Every structure is written in C-alpha cells, then in structure tokens.
Amino acid sequence: MELLGKSAEELRAWVTSQGESAYRGRQIYHALYAERKFDLAGMSNLPAALRARLAEAARITLPEIRRRYQASDGTVRYVLALEAAQAERPATVEAVFMPEKNRQTICISTQAGCAVDCHFCLTATLGLVRNLTAGEIVAQVLLALEENRAALVPQTNVVLMGQGEPLLNYEPVTAALRILLDPNGAGLSPKHVTLSTSGIVPGIARLGEEKVRPKLAVSLNASSDVQRDAIMPINRKYPLAALLEACRKYPLRPWEHLTFEYVLLGGFNDSPEDARRVVKLVASLRCKINLIPWNPGELPYEPPDAGCIEEFRRILTEKGVRAFVRYSRGQEIMAACGQLAVLESAGKLTEITESR
C-alpha cells in the first residue's frame, strides 16, 4: 500500500482494514503531510508497536532526486526520477524551488511531458510520457520544502506551471490540491497556490465547481486567434472566444482575480496593436496580466526589446488593465518549463551543482 497521495478518508479506511481505530489514519495523514515524516517508523504520534506493524504493510515512496541545479539567485531546480512509485512507467519531471525574502515559491509538474504542443515550450517536444499520480504531485512540494527546511520562511507559494497541462490530468491534480490546501494536510493557502492552464475550456468550468481550488492562471500569449493558432494548437479546439467566455463564467471568490500569462515573443506578439487587442480581450474581467519576456534558448523565437516590453505594459496599464513584467528566475539553469528535462535527455546540460 503506497500512502503518499492518499486522502484522510483513504488512510482512515486503510488503517481500519488493518484492524486499527480510524483516528490512526488521521494521525498518519497529519504526520505525512503536515510534519513531512516520510517514514512510518519516525511517526512519533503513533505507538512504536503499531508503527512497526504498519510499516510491514505500507510504504511511502518519494521521487528520487536525480540532480540538483542551483542558480546564483538561489533558485534550485530538481530533476526527479519517478520510477520508484511506478516501476513499469518510469518518468522524469522537474520541480523548482525559488526562495525570496518573504516567501518561497515551488513550481511543480503535473504530467511527465505534455501533449498540448505549445510551440514555444520545450516540454512539448517530449510529447506526453504519462500522467503523474496525486502522490507524485504532492511529493514535489513536500520534497522541495524538506530539502530547504532550514531556510524556509512562513509563506509558501505553489504554482502548477512545470511540465504538463494540469487540467488534462484532472482527478490526480485535484486530489493533490485537496491535500496541499487542507489545513490539516500540507496547510497551504488557496491564495498562494496557482494552477496554470493553456486554456482547456471544460476543465476551467469543472475547476470552478470545486469546493477546494487554487487560483487560476491562463496562458494567453496572443492577441488574436490567427496568432494563437500559430503557437498554441489547442486554440483550434478552444478558440479565444470560448476561452474568454469560460473565464467570464469562472466563479471568482471575493479576494480573487484571474491571471493571464503572456509570453512576449519579439516581433511576433509584442506590438502596440497586440497590446490594444489584449485590452479588448480581457475587458470586463477581474484580472491581471503577467508579461514574460521570452528567454533566448533552443527554440526559434526572439526576445522582445526593452522598449517594446515597456510600451506593451504602458498601453495595458493606461487602459486600466493591471500588468506586470516578470522575468524568469534562475535563467542559467533553464527556467522555462521542460527545458531541463529536454536538455538532460539530449545530454547537453552543463551541470552546475552535482547531486548532493
């Protein structure tokens, strides 16, 4: 029995099946997700004899940290091997830990590879390897926190922006989120957890109905259907009108706004006309836009020039759309999603920090 990824109810049912009282399940749940005890023997809230007996019937399998890369700004990127949990379906994903003065942000993957095929994304070149389990998704957060335990500040942000389209692995992703957002589980605030989607319209509608849900970010990246079709084939299935309608219907909580991510590709989607079209697209939505200047890399796009970035932001702001320029962290360790796995598999990566 693999315990990692199990809900409180599932753990209760399991301990009951082992002839124990149901409340023992709640204790294991707390030790595993709130205290980050990854060994039944170390769960000191259980009697020693019980720990020993349960340890024979269950296991807690964390991904193996294949490599760590540390950037000069403190960002740590982990390459995680997942075969331990599903030996028959080995996979490698990435998680990134980004420390800041008042918070740490952890970026996690929800699938190994991705089928969505955004043309500016290196993960797309992998195709979909497989969906991650709830346990494999939760484990990335727990592992990053545990690895950096000594340096943690009270606020933890989690972004589902690594490899994969979270809304195409819906059940495991929402099961993982229920554990991460449970005050008795990992205890993260829904205000500090963000799911980013390429625009899976039925998934957005479904997420809006969840009792427990994170904030929502939508990867927009274009100001027209023609433009978006050219870089995000998913737009042919869910064009801008349908996507923005789903956004308008999304039931925002009083404190909440939508986030649109807009990767600025030099000479492609970064003109003043693009900015004006974006203003019209998001009119009437409670939202902000994160402008992400393209990092030069393996793919054939150009970074925008500084003047274009500022003019784009100025037009949005002048029209009342909140817009911020976000630069990728840890650029020298490949901050764009999936870059590390792709380069790793191609044997092209210069390692910065050897596995500890």
Query: Active-site residues: which are they?
Result: 94, 337
Choices 18-26, 78-86, 97-105, 158-166; region in contact with ligand SF4 by CB under 6 A: 158-166
Using CA atoms, how far apart are residues 115 and 16, in angstroms rounded to an integer? Answer: 40
Residue with Cβ nearer ligand SF4 (105 or 197): 197
Is residue 25 a contact residue for ligand SF4 (CB under 6 A)?
no
Burial class of residue 13 (count of CB atoms within 10 Å of its CB; 0-12, 13-18, 19+): middle
Minimum CB–partner distance for residue 259 and ligand SF4 (Å): 15
Residue with Cβ nearer ligand SF4 (11 or 91): 91
Three-class secondary structure of residue 295 per DSSP: coil
Residue with Cβ nearer ligand SF4 (75 or 123): 123
Choices 1-9, 97-105, 160-168, 306-314; region in contact with ligand SF4 by CB under 6 A: 160-168
Burial class of residue 342 (count of CB atoms within 10 Å of its CB; 0-12, 13-18, 19+): buried
Using CA atoms, how far apart are residues 165 and 231, in angstroms rounded to an integer? Answer: 16
Residue with Cβ nearer ligand SF4 (46 or 335): 335
Residue with Cβ nearer ligand SF4 (25 or 330): 330
> Which residue spans within 135-182 are E strands per DSSP?
156-160
Q: Quote the tokens at residue 31.
A: 């030790």
Member of 198, 223, 227, 269 binding ligand SF4 (CB under 6 A):
198
**Contact at 8 Å (CB) between 218 and 235?**
no
Residue type at 35 in one-letter notation: E
Query: Considering only CA atoms, which of 143, 130, 192 is closest in space to residue 36?
Result: 143
Choices 48-56, 91-99, 109-117, 305-313; region in contact with ligand SF4 by CB under 6 A: 109-117
By CB under 6 A, the residues from 282 to 341 that bind ligand SF4 are 337-338
Member of 164, 185, 203, 330 binding ligand SF4 (CB under 6 A):
164
Q: Quote the tokens at residue 64.
A: 């193996």
Minimum CB–partner distance for residue 265 and ligand SF4 (Å): 13
Query: What interhelical angle do 240-249 and 272-282 show, nearest 10?
Result: 40
Site string for ligand SF4, 110-129 (x = CB under 6 A): ----x-xxx--x-xx-----
**Contact at 8 Å (CB) between 77 and 96?**
yes
Site size with ligand SF4, rule: CB under 6 A: 13
Residue with Cβ nearer ligand SF4 (32 or 116): 116
Radius of gyration of the chain (CA): 21
Which of the 8 DSSP states describes residue 151? G
3-state helix, strand, coil in the chain (%, to 5): 40, 20, 40
Is residue 165 a contact residue for ligand SF4 (CB under 6 A)?
yes
Member of 163, 194, 227, 259 binding ligand SF4 (CB under 6 A):
163
Contact residues: ligand SF4, CB under 6 A = 114, 116-118, 121, 123-124, 163-165, 198, 337-338
